[in-house]
A and B are shown apart, each in its own frame.
Chain A
Amino acid sequence: MAVTVTIPTALRQYADGNASVSLAAGSVGQILAALSEQYPQLGRHLYNDQGTLRSFVNIYVGDEDIRHLQGIETPVPDGETVSIIPAIAGGI
């Protein structure tokens, strides 16, 4: 078993065009680190120079924003979905 990470359209070009990636379960931080290791260009858009998630990056576990859970420490069990949601809804 593993967890699914969904990639928004804007970032798929940095993930070989994949809409989702399967990774080992763990904390959100561990899963995103594994994702960034697999796709370093994608990681560059998620993290700042200090190595923390950029303030506007939205990560959901299931339907819940990790800001309302335990942040990057939020545990993600097997079979759950982690979603990287666009920072804005277009706004044009």
Chain B
Amino acid sequence: MSLRVFEERIDRRSTLIDLVGNTPLLRLARIDPDLPPGVAVYAKAEWYNPGGSVKDRPALWMIRDGERRGLLRPGIRIADATSGNTGIAYATLGAALGYQVTLAMPANASPERRRILRSLGAEVVLTDPLEGMDAAIRKIRTLVQEHPERYFYPDQYNNPANPRAHEESTGPEIWAQTDGRVTHFVAALGTSGTFMGIGRFLRTRNPAVRLIAVQPDGPYHALEGVKHMASTTLVPGIYDPTLADATIEVRSEEAFAMARRLARTEGLMVGVSAAANVAAALRVARDLREGVVVTILCDGAAKYLSDRFWEDGDGQDGEGI
């Protein structure tokens, strides 16, 4: 068989880039046996993306948008501020597409995180941990301003291609996978791209769909990937505070307890922000007589296994399991 014939026969989704999106939608059937019979909770298993998180979607859309606009070309580095999954997504997709990547993040980013990024070939610039992400954002802006010819700065907080990724992929997938029956969408705000993109898409299909944002209970929290919008000094430009019908606050301890429960009752090992999403989705579901509640499992637990909460009780999580 010639190589060409062989290549025509194999699965068309054969490159890493083709694996972004089209994730499974899982029914969470066991997490709360007391839900009303007419109510179902579903969650998008976003760790099925090749970089292991929902962030592959905005990263790919921002990269492709940069290429289309001529800002990202061979020899140009991708540079952004991210200590989290967006960085891993840039590094993963960047390696697969032949782009080098520079990322700024606070120095207290976990060693696993830094090792993943460096293993993927990314350059990591560390900033003052006391200043949080805001210092990392200022650092990358300075770097790019000094050498604009070297870098493509996607700026996930202000790039419309970030929410557009969800408007064009995650939103339509949720609509198709629920057969248009989704009544409530629940998701935490980080850059807000996931919530804005999916929310806007679902609204165009069904203006009655309820959109519920998830927030930590204060600025000092452990919900990795989630931003406390009321206190941040850098509100994302893509964030529209009028889109959400309601906001639910989740305490970090509640998310820890839910991560443990998801592992033990559903066999789902997910990250803390995914657990916070499920905690909020269940609160919404318990108040319904009927409905289809959809949320996002942003990533799996692999990057958080050294966190103490898997074993420690928090003294007030009311686990009851």
Contact = CB atoms under 8 A, between A and B. Distances in A.
Contacts of B131: 8-9
Given A91-B190, A91-B224, 9 more contacts: A9-B233, A13-B231, A46-B220, A48-B315, A50-B316, A54-B253, A86-B108, A92-B82, A92-B191
B283 to A, nearest CB: 19
B110 interface: yes
18 contacts: A9-B130, A9-B132, A10-B219, A10-B231, A48-B315, A55-B256, A86-B106, A87-B220, A88-B224, A89-B83, A89-B133, A90-B83, A90-B132, A91-B273, A92-B82, A92-B83, A92-B86, A92-B225
A-B residue pairs, 7 tightest by C-beta: A91-B224, A90-B133, A91-B84, A56-B222, A10-B219, A89-B109, A89-B106
Interface of B: 82-86, 105-110, 113, 129-134, 136, 156, 190-191, 218-228, 231, 233, 252-253, 256, 273, 308-309, 312, 314-316
A40 to B, nearest CB: 14
Contact of B316 (A11, A48, A87): A48
A55 B129 contact: no
Interface in A20-78: 45-46, 48-50, 52, 54-58
A11 B225 CA distance: 18
Nearest to A10: B219
Interface of A: 6, 8-11, 13, 19, 45-46, 48-50, 52, 54-58, 83, 85-92
Contacts of A56: 221-222, 252, 256, 309
B108 A11 contact: no
Query: What's the dominant secondary structure at chain A's contact region?
Result: loop
A80 to B, nearest CB: 17
A11 B85 CA distance: 25
Contacts, number: 110
Contacts of A85: 108, 129-130
Contacts of A89: 83, 105-110, 113, 129, 132-133
B221 A87 contact: yes
Nearest to A19: B130
Nearest to B109: A89
A48 B228 CA distance: 19
A53 to B, nearest CB: 10
A8 B132 contact: yes
Contacts of B309: 55-56
Contacts of A9: 130-132, 134, 233
Contacts of B223: 88
Contacts of A88: 221-224
A47 B129 CA distance: 21
Counting chain B CB atoms within 10 Å of each CB, the highest count among A58, A83, A88 belongs to A88
